[in-house]
């Protein structure tokens, strides 16, 4: 276990020094998955054979002195919403059960080219709709800090895999907070890049104008290392930004000195107070005080249109999702349900979509088709797009006053499994602080800020930067992480429970977990 608690950067150094092989490291992750994933359920599919073969190839490259990247040989888990050639990709939905993509998403191809063995595919809310991973058609993921609680969502599987030491790195996707909010409630680092900064090619779309892929890690430096592997221009994604990434790893290394002199930090007035758990607010305020101690100047900024962000998101996102999900028509992918008798193509589509989609997905398809329908389009979708513009204007004004903006990542710590499942509005409120960044296309990161005194569960600190300034997140994030760890004496995750092995070990020989 002590081996597995290291960061990806530490593993990379050990691999480079020959202190461990990628096969040993990958096997240790697979053993850990076998021991605990019956209880945590981070994975929908574990590819032991494939990961070990990639690890052996990595070891051969290292032995020949030709590593493909700094992270060559460090294993990773991938959210099951990214296409992986030859490996099942379900998006947490029954409708894609059995679908094996014939190609790799660009992010997956880049991981392979950089030599990172892929351990498997992680659990998620169906089609990335949710904040708790309870909407997965394959059962919920459990938070490693308390197995009765949610790991956040939709990328709860990726966050839990990293927090439970099953994988040192993971890939997530963030449409309204699905990397950052799971990061907050599991004590991991989660980053959403600038829109267009990481390719969406091969990411099964929920809402194209909001979706972004990003790193899920244990440290800020690991996030930067992974971001540099997967990020940058991709001609296969028409929304990909055609310019080099800022120097992310350099910014993380620079930030670790903990000196923030001259940095202007804006605390967002609208993302605090009512609705925020006392312990979350307390840890947030303490972290802000640390930034001040490091030389930062703190100002309060106001973003009044954030009051409408959630409403705008829940019109734009379902509108785009309802159109995207139309492609699951029983003809092209996965499940096909054929009713008795002499069914028409429409009967087959209806039966397949009825059986294949879960309740939350159906709810959003209905919402989206309604918002886009003739006569309502201007009143709903059109108005929401106007709010989106106002939110971008609020951000622009705030970034005139501050270099970065900060808020709690999520209003509460991890809630109990089942607690909000029947209350969609309560579920949607989890993303109140993360959604504005998606609507404006700006980057954001969640950093572990400690444990809430009232429940001992992780709290996330969100940092936001202007578009294309992702390097600021790494500088400020690494500084805060260093300052907090000096206080705690160790990374936050070292306080996470060890997790006793599950009663039934998980089958990891190329089968579903
Ligand atoms: N929880 C939000 C939603 O349900 C965000 C999901 C996401 O970022 N994929 O839409």
pLDDT in tens, 198-235: 999 999 999 999 999 999 999 999 999 999 999 999 99
Can you tell me the mean pLDDT for 366-390? 95
Confidence of residue 512 (pLDDT cuts 50, 70, 90): very low
Q: Which of 154, 305, 407, 446 is catalytic?
A: 154
Helix 220-230 with 470-488: angle, nearest 10 deg: 150
Cα 226 from Cα 500, distance rounded (Å): 30
- Indicate which residue's Cα is closest to atom 10 of ligand 1: 129
pLDDT (tens digit per residue) in 63-102: 999 999 999 999 999 999 999 999 999 999 999 999 999 9
Half-sphere exposure of 27 (CA within 13 A, CB side): 7
Please state, in angstroms and as integers, the Cα–Cα distance from residue 10 to each residue in 13, 20, 60, 115, 225, following that order. 5, 11, 20, 16, 12
Please indicate whether residue 266, judged by its CB atom, sits closer than 6 Å to ligand 1.
no
Q: Is 132 in the pocket of ligand 1 (CB under 6 A)?
A: no
Residue 123 C-alpha to ligand 1 middle, in angstroms? 14
Question: 199: Cβ below 6 Å to ligand 1?
Answer: no
Interval 106-127: pLDDT, tens:
999 999 999 999 999 999 999 9
Catalytic residue among 6, 79, 94, 420: 79
- Helix or strand or coil: residue 181? helix
Burial 151-162 (b: 16+ CB within 10 A, else e): bbbbbbbbbbbb
CA of 446 to the centre of ligand 1 (A): 15
Per-residue pLDDT at 507: 55
**CATH no., domain 3-261+440-447+457-495:** 3.90.1300.10
CA 129 to ligand 1: nearest atom: 4
Q: How far is the CA of 317 from the centre of ligand 1 (A)?
A: 9
437 within ligand 1 shell (Cβ under 6 A): no
320-333 pLDDT, tens digit each: 999 999 999 998 88
Q: Is residue 79 flagged as an active site residue?
A: yes
Q: Which atom of ligand 1 is nearest to the CA of 364?
A: 10
> pLDDT tens-digit profile of 271-301?
999 999 999 999 999 999 999 999 999 999 9
Ligand 1 centroid to Cα of residue 182, in Å, is 11
Rounded to 5 degrees, φ, ψ at 360 are -65, -40
Confidence of residue 506 (pLDDT cuts 50, 70, 90): low
**Structure tokens belonging to residue 327:** 């492609």
Which residue puts its alpha carbon closest to atom 4 of ligand 1?
130
| Ligand 1 neighbour 155 (Cβ under 6 A) | no
Name the region of 341 (left: φ>0; alpha: ψ -120 to 50; beta: rest).
Answer: left
* Mutation probe of ligand 1 site: the residue of 91, 126, 313, 317 with most atoms within 8 A of C-beta: 317
State whether the beta carbon of 277 lies less than 6 angstroms from ligand 1.
no
Average pLDDT over residues 237-246: 98
- Asked about 374 being catalytic, the answer comes back as no
What confidence tier does 453 reach under pLDDT thresholds 50, 70, 90? Answer: very high
Quick check: CB of 212 below 6 Å from ligand 1?
no
Q: How far apart are CA 177 and CA 175, in angstroms?
A: 6
The preferred substitution site among 154, 190, 314 for testing ligand 1, maximizing ligand atoms within 8 Å of CB, is: 154
Rounded mean pLDDT, 481-506 = 85
Q: Which of 295, 293, 298, 301 is nearest to 272 (CA)?
A: 301
Does ligand 1 have an atom closer than 6 angstroms to the CB of 67? no
Ligand 1 atom with the shortest distance to the CA of 175: 8
420 in active site = no
* pLDDT score of 501 more than 50: yes
Reported as a pLDDT band with limits 50, 70 and 90, residue 1 is confident
What's residue 509's pLDDT?
47
With a cut of 50, say whether residue 245 has pLDDT above it.
yes
| Interval between CA 1 and ligand 1 midpoint (Å) | 33
Residue 508 pLDDT = 53
Is 376 a residue whose pLDDT tops 70?
yes
- Rounded to whole angstroms, the Cα distance separating 225 from 213 reads 15
Domain residue spans of the chain: 3-261+440-447+457-495
**Residue 334: per-residue pLDDT:** 87
Ligand 1 near 433 CB (within 6 A): no
Report the atom number in ligand 1 closest to the C-alpha of 360. Answer: 4
Q: Answer whether 318 contacts ligand 1 (Cβ < 6 A).
A: no
- Tell me what the pLDDT averaged over the chain comes to: 96
In which band, very low, low, confident or very high, does the pLDDT at 513 lie, cut at 50, 70 and 90? very low
The whole-number average pLDDT for the span 419-437 is: 95
Residue 205 carries which DSSP code?
A: P
**CB 232 within 8 Å of CB 243:** no
Cβ pair 476, 463 in contact under 8 A: yes
Residue range 31-55, pLDDT digits in tens: 999 999 999 999 999 999 999 999 9
> Phi-psi region for residue 458, left (φ > 0), alpha (ψ -120 to 50) or beta?
beta
| DSSP element (H, E) containing 61 | helix 48-63
User: What pLDDT is recorded for position 333?
Assistant: 87
Q: Identify which of 81, 82, 127, 176 to mutate to test ligand 1's pocket (most ligand atoms within 8 A of the CB).
A: 176
**Integer Cα distance of 53 and 69 in angstroms:** 17
**Average pLDDT in the 406-425 region?**
97
Which of 92, 178, 441 to probe ligand 1 with, by most ligand atoms within 8 A of CB? 178
């Amino acid at each position: 276990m002590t081996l597995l608690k290291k960061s990806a950067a530490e593993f990379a150094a050990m691999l480079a020094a020959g202190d461990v092989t990628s096969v040993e490291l990958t096997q240790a992750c697979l053993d850990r998955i076998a021991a605990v994933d019956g209880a945590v359920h981070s994975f929908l599919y574990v590819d032991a054979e494939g990961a070990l073969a990639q690890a052996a190839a990595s070891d051969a490259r290292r032995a020949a002195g030709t590593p493909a990247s700094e992270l060559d040989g460090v294993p990773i888990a991938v959210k099951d919403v990214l296409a992986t050639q030859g490996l099942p990709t379900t998006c947490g939905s029954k409708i894609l059960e059995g679908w094996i993509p014939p190609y790799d998403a660009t992010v997956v191809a880049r991981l392979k080219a950089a030599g990172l063995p892929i351990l498997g595919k992680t659990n998620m809310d169906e089609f990335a709709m949710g904040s708790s991973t309870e909407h997965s058609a394959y059962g919920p993921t459990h938070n490693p800090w308390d197995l009765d609680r949610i790991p956040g969502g939709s990328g709860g599987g990726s966050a839990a895999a990293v927090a439970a030491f099953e994988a040192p790195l993971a890939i997530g996707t963030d449409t309204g907070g699905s990397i950052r909010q799971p990061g907050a409630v599991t004590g991991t680092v989660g980053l959403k890049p600038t829109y267009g900064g990481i390719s969406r090619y091969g990411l099964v779309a929920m809402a194209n104008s909001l979706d972004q892929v990003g790193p899920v890690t244990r440290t800020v430096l690991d996030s930067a290392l992974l971001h540099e592997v997967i990020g940058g221009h991709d001609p296969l994604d028409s929304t990909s930004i055609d310019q080099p990434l800022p120097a992310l790893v350099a910014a993380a290394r620079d930030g670790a000195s903990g000196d923030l002199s001259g940095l202007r930090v804006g605390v967002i007035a609208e993302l605090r107070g009512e609705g925020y758990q006392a312990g979350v607010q307390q840890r947030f305020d303490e972290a802000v005080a640390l930034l001040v101690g490091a030389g930062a100047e703190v100002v309060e900024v106001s973003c009044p249109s954030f009051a409408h962000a959630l409403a705008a998101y829940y019109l734009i996102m379902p509108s785009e999702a309802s159109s995207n999900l139309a492609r699951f028509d029983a003809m092209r992918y996965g499940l096909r349900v054929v009713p008795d008798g002499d069914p028409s193509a429409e009967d087959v589509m209806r039966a397949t979509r009825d059986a294949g989609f879960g309740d939350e997905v159906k709810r959003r398809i209905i919402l989206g088709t309604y918002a886009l329908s003739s006569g309502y389009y201007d009143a709903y979708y059109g108005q929401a797009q106007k709010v989106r513009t106002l939110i971008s204007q609020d951000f622009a004004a705030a970034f005139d006053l501050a270099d970065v903006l900060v808020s709690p990542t999520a209003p509460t710590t991890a809630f109990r499994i089942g607690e909000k499942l029947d209350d969609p509005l309560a579920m949607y409120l989890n993303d109140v602080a993360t959604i504005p960044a998606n609507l404006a296309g700006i980057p954001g990161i969640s950093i572990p800020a400690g444990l809430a005194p009232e429940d001992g569960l992780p709290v996330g600190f969100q940092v936001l930067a202007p578009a294309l300034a992702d390097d600021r997140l790494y500088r400020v994030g690494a500084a805060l992480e260093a300052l907090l760890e000096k206080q705690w004496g160790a990374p936050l995750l070292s306080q996470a429970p060890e997790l006793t092995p599950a009663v039934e070990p998980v089958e990891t020989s190329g089968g579903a977990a």
